[in-house]
Amino acid sequence: MKLTPDQIAQFDRDGYLFFPGLFTPQEMKSLNEAVPALTLRRDAFNVREKGSDAVRTTFAAHLYSEPFARLARHPRMVEPVQQLLGEAVYMHQFKINSKTAFEGDVWQWHQDYGTWRNDDLMPTERAMNVAIFLDDVNAFNAPLMFIPGSHKKGVIDATYDLTTTSYPLWTLDHALVAQLVERAGGKHGGIVSPLGPAGSMIVFHSCLVHASSSNLSPWNRVSVYLSLCAVSNHIRRHKRPEYIAQRDFTPIACLPDDCLLREHPVELPWKNGMPASALVTSLAEI
Ligand code: SIN
Ligand code: MN
């Protein structure tokens, strides 16, 4: 899938592009069917909400679940990212965020690149986030919130938050977030939430400031987040376990466009379990 010059200009201005209904309900079927069995697993890659058994994030499913391994190589997802970064990309992080009905907890205001730089020593922000909705996203099931244009600020100083939720995150100062929202139009467009059916996709800049509130609605808001990094910009430290920050910098080779509808062989290196090496961490620079 090729982006038009207008889309590239829009991405540069706003820091994101939204593609409502990019994948059909038939294409989403195998992904949605695979999720319940994945969240039942008692593995380290399932991070649960604070004080609850509800799964917050399932990491690295592209290494042990066939439908997600195919999604990770889908040309409609990979090609726009390659075009924006002008280089081959590898999978830095792969997560399924459940945002379970009634239980899904907040994601504080943050930039993803803040965490990738501080924890993983990723040299520059030449990495991109892609969100793919597995459920319909509406105003009530805690949609992502973006501050349009906030990626132009570059990397913003952040504080390491270990307490608010079950997942450590470098989060932003509220006064600064308020300023950024004002600058982006305040009540008139200073915060936007792309809403749409399951199968919609968002591509967003790794410095775009975003957050989401808790999900008090009766509807799950399961989304897949794929973080693709330019190969030359690979991380330089394995401070986090491999299921969170991937260590295989091989460029992604795309499958055919119908790969979610037909069988296409894919490698599943963690099919029989995560290797013990994936839990080994180090502060050494590579
Ligand atoms: C994220 O920022 O990585 C996830 C946010 C969300 O799922 O709401
Ligand atoms: Mn994020």
Taking only the tens place, the pLDDT of each residue in 111-138 is 999 999 999 999 999 999 999 999 999 9
CA–centroid distance, residue 111 to ligand 2 (Å) = 6
Radius of gyration of the chain (CA): 18
Spell out the domains of the chain, with CATH numbers in brackets: 14-272 (2.60.120.620)
Asked whether the beta carbons of 170 and 159 are under 8 A apart, the reply is: yes
- Cα gap 10→4, rounded to integer Å: 10
- Per residue in 160-196, pLDDT (tens digit) is 999 989 888 899 999 999 999 999 999 999 999 999 9
Residue 1 pLDDT exceeds 90: no
Q: 192: which strand partners? A: 146
- Element spanning 147, H or E: none
Q: What is the 3-state secondary structure (H, E, C) of 27-95?
A: HHHHHHHHHHHHHHCCCCCEEECCCCCCEEEEECHHHCCHHHHHHCCCHHHHHHHHHHHCCCEEEEEEE
97 in contact with ligand 1, CB cutoff 6 A: yes
- Calculate the average pLDDT of the chain: 97
CB of 156 within 6 A of ligand 1: the answer is: no
Nearest atom in ligand 1 to 144's CA: 8
110 Cα nearest atom in ligand 1: 2
Verify whether ligand 1 is closer than 6 Å to residue 221 (CB atom). Answer: no
Q: Is the pLDDT of residue 271 over 90?
A: yes
- State the pLDDT at residue 167: 87
Six token digits for residue 76 = 């409609």
Ion ligand 2: residues, Cβ under 5 Å: 112
Q: What percent of the chain has pLDDT over 70?
A: 100
**Ligand 1 pocket mutation pick from 47, 92, 107, 141 by most atoms within 8 angstroms of CB:** 107
Instruction: Write the single-letter amino acid at 159.
Output: T
Alpha-carbon span 244 to 255, nearest angstrom = 24
> What does the pLDDT read at residue 184?
98
66 CA → ligand 2 middle, Å: 24
Ligand 1 close to Cβ of residue 225 (< 6 A): yes
For residue 74, give both structure tokens.
């889908």
Which residues are paired to 171 by β-bridges? 159
